[in-house]
Amino acid sequence: MGFPNQPSGGNTPISEPKDHTIKPSRGALECMVNSEIGAVLAVMRRNVRWGFRYAAEDDQLEYSLIQSFKELRKKIFSWRHEWNNVDPLLYLRPFLDVIQSDETGAPITGVALSSVYKFLTLGIIESADMNVDKALHQIVDAVTSCRFEVTDPASEEVVLMKILQVLLACMKSKASKNLTNHHVCNIVNTCFRLVHQASVKSELLQRIARHTMHELVRCIFVHLPDIESRVCADPETGKKQQEDNGCVDVAVGNDQTDEKTRKRDIACNGENPMMDPHGVPCMVEIFHFLCSLLNVMESIEIGSRSNPIAYEEDVPLFALGLINSAIELGGAAFANHPKLLALIREELFHNLMRFGLSMSPLILSTVCSIVLNLYHHLRFKLKLQLEAFFSGVLLKIAQSKHGASYQLQEVAMETLVDFCRQHMFVAEMYANYDCDISCSNIFEELANLLSKSTFPVNSPLSALNTLALEGLIAMIQGMAERIGQDSLVSDQGSFNLDGFRPFWVEICKDYNDPDHWVPFVHKMKQIKKKLLVGVDHFNRDPKKGMEYLQAVHLLPDKLDPKSVACFFRFSNGLDKNLVGDFLGSHEEFYIQVLHEFSRTFDFQDMNLDTALRIFLETFRLPGESQKIHRVLEAFSERYYEQSPDVLANKDAALVLSYSLIMLNTDQHNTQVKKKMTEEDFIRNNRRINGGNDLPREFLSELYHSICENEIRISSDRGADTPVLPPSHWIGLVHKSRQTSPFIVCDHGPYLDYDMFAMLSGQTIASISVVLDHVEQEDVWQTCIDGFLAIAKISASYNFDDVLDDLVVSLCKFTTLLLPSYTDEFIVTFAQDNKARLATLAVFTIANKYGDHIRSGWKNILECILSLHNFGLLPTRLFNDAADDVESTSDAYKSKPVAASPSTPHVPSLAPSRKSSGLMGRFSQLLYLDAEEPAPQPNEKQLAARQQTFQTIRMSHDTIFAESKFCKQSPFHSLSGPS
């Protein structure tokens, strides 16, 4: 027997109509159904089992399956004008009976499936006025329980393909809105089993099965944006809770819910929500199932395959691809449904971290695509998760940590550059992370990484170097595009605290209004800078660190337990060994600090092991037994205070906490050979709950939690392994519920001043390095565009020193400052596109932003003198300069002008008439030392000179088009009266 409800793998499109609205005419329906009846009967009669009559008692009867088709054939022609009123089940039943029969062979079952597929795709069923929902339910039930005899492998594969076709057609049908959550889950479950079963079949079936799964996921989640979340009351507490379209929370494969959930379901719906028209409940199950695939894929055994793909890549890629499809279509609507959002925050992101650190570039690329989609749609709900991914995966891989290959580095760098191209990504990283005292400096780390990665290391420039440059320039160009919009740059000065205020309680009045959040993040950035200096001092010398923080008013002049406790709790980068030693100290002051420290945690409605994990993630538990006792005593007191219904008293919490630490050491210390069993653990904790035993199930759950996920109590969490430990992820998820809101930046340049101050210097250096080494013209243009963007921002924000540095760097690439013979230079310049681009850029910047250039004018003047010396300045420049000087000097006609020395020989390409004013006098001075005319050029030199001059002429409108260039330049200061 062949069972399609078996496990399987594949990705090629199914040939099926896109438009389901094509319908036969009314008079043709009976002919079409009759044709399908005939097709099934014809195949059945070819089989010896169905090809003869047999006796049952005294009557000659045909087999019931054949008889039902013949009875249907008698009726269909009487429905000529009443098809709308015909129950679809009347003509579907014989076909569905064949599909469900385990006595039919693959060819018969395949024809029956084709008939049902035809009814679905031609819209016959959905045009009925009655029982459409029941008909669709019956089709799904029949197809998902399809059984048939396997006659040959080819026929079996045909049937499996047709099962996939019919189930997908059910979801694509307009009548699919009548499917229940339960039926949709069955469809997905059956298709996934076929995917698994197809792994031992042909590659064609593998690809079709996988394609069908992708199509199903798209069909389901495309409706998520149209579904609203509802609020219903918990029947036991009476409190309103936001629920997901049916108020259900069930895992895939588990149709049972606890009594409380069941009561709430009934309160919201009056019935089992899995029987409601499909919506969020089935999406929760399916998305949870897809996330769980990433946990169990590695343990699935798989047989030999005709076309094997690398298993360690193939299976996770399939699951990740389905998840990406769901997120692409569900988009921001995931945020409206708490259970779906919780799956992304807690389960999905942890798996993305884990698979992102795999050694497969293909898996990393897929993971990065998912994270980019999550950032685009849900970043305002995933602040700490995104921080963990950037700092723990992308930045680490791009820095070649954990043995990352060049290919992995390139994928990570490409992803970072893609993020930099998102319009407000850079500003949001800076506002949400660099300006948050509890977060990493993601913007600063990213800028440093990109800048460092542009410099080649003992080798020619690589693709990775130019890719990093693209990221830097994308950051700069984003800022340049925002120039001219309203900006809040008035609060850029240093922020000074005039007295102590608890920095950990600072909040913004409105995270959506730039008038509030922009000054707030400026303030927090200044506090963070000082705090990080204090943390650095503390890690080297705790006493000096405290004194510094008191001096900058981040701690009070007289230390109190609460302020020190909050410094330990909320400061990023503290040495956890030192914090643990202080918290375990026997000094009375630090005992008070310890208790204040424990009060900063919220353990309400939390399991004891989860609370202990979160608590011990913030410092390193000391090794001395007395210190351990003091620390656990403070923890137990806080836990019991917030969870009095779990344990009888705080002593019970203390004993059980000790027991969990001992179990953790026992299970995860390699030196312990004989491990504690579950029975040992339960026996060790008898009568600790006020003289009574704790429930066995409660202790068993704690035992397995510790055995499966170690409580990490070392200071270097994750340092010995690239994978984020589960215990730390639990703490991160808990912290994410309490962190400050994610600031979604609009298109205003509110923080560009601060970011540009950090970014400008290293970007100029990076562009210069790449421009110096690269030979591709498209990269030259990218570099020049970057220089122009920096110049624009520098002038707009009055970064005159940055503009001077830029001009100095850029002038070097013009080659105009290098000593050279005239004809030799002209030939070289004519062939040097990089030099010509740089020359054009230099004079463009001088023309547009000359008022902001200071020391850089020296280099610009040297370039002009070089061009003039080689006879390459167009005549128009001299004419414009002379006209400008004459018009400027009209007011001074009464004053004498100093005589000018005689003009020496000027090459033929110089101005033909005697120039007056600035350019004339300057050209005379330029050639005072000329001893003799230059030799006549040959034909090659003439051609090169002509080409160079044409280049200058073509650039002329850009370089010297505006007469204000002469006014802005230092020449103008010389053109007045002497």
3-state secondary structure of 243: strand
Distance CA(940)–CA(938), nearest Å, equals 6
Tokens representing residue 234 in the block: 């918990």
Residues recorded for the chain: 978
Handedness of CA 532, 533, 539, 545 (dihedral sign): negative
3-state helix, strand, coil in the chain (%, to 5): 65, 0, 35
Residue 277: phi and psi, rounded to 5, are: -55, 140
Q: Are strands 230-233 and 240-243 parallel, antiparallel or unpaired?
A: antiparallel
H or E segment to which residue 939 belongs: helix 939-960
Is the distance from CB of 520 to CB of 508 less than 8 angstroms?
yes
Cα separation of 852 and 408, whole Å?
A: 43
DSSP string, 867-894: HHHTT-S-HHHHHHHHHHHHHHHGGGTT
Pairwise CA distance, residues 800 & 817, whole Å? 22
Q: Whole-angstrom Cα distance, residue 807 to residue 371?
A: 39
Q: Using DSSP, state whether 109 is helix, strand or coil.
A: helix
DSSP for residue 736: H
- Please enumerate, as own/partner, the contacts of 588-597 that have beta carbons within 8 Å and a separation of 24 or more: 589/559, 589/561, 591/630, 592/561, 593/561, 593/564, 593/565, 593/568, 594/565, 594/630, 594/631, 594/634, 595/561, 595/634, 595/637, 596/561, 596/562, 596/564, 596/565, 596/566, 597/565, 597/568, 597/569, 597/634
Note if 624 is an active site residue. yes
DSSP summary character for residue 148: B
Burial of 290 (0-12, 13-18, 19+ CB in 10 A): buried
Terminal C-alpha separation, the chain: 108
Phi, psi angles (nearest 5°) of residue 690: 65, 35
Q: What's the Rg (C-alpha) of the chain?
A: 38
Q: Give the 3-state DSSP-derived string for 267-305, with helices as H, strands as E and coil as C.
A: HHHCCCHHHCECCHHHHHHHHHHHHHHHHHHHHCCCCCC
Half-sphere exposure of 867 (CA within 13 A, CB side): 30
CA-wise closest residue to 113 among 188, 4, 19, 207 = 4
Give the whole-angstrom CA distance, residue 284 versus residue 339.
7
For 94, phi then psi, to 5°, come to -60, -40
- Residue with structure tokens 């800076």? 430
Contact between 911 and 905 under an 8 Å Cβ cutoff? The reply is no
CA distance 240 to 233: 4
How far is it, in rounded angstroms, from Cα 911 to Cα 873?
8
Question: Tokens standing for 349?
Answer: 């992101």
Q: Which DSSP state fits 712? A: -
State how far the Cα of 75 lies from the Cα of 73, in Å rounded to an integer: 5
Which is it for the CA torsion 607, 609, 610, 611, positive or negative? positive
Listed residue (200, 226, 235) closest to 280, CA to CA:
226
Exactly one of 228, 298, 506, 624 is catalytic; which is it?
A: 624
State the DSSP H helix or E strand holding residue 61, giving kind and residue range, or none if neither. Answer: strand 59-61
Question: Which tokens belong to 113?
Answer: 């499936």
Distance CA 782, CA 794 (A): 18
Catalogue the active-site residues.
624
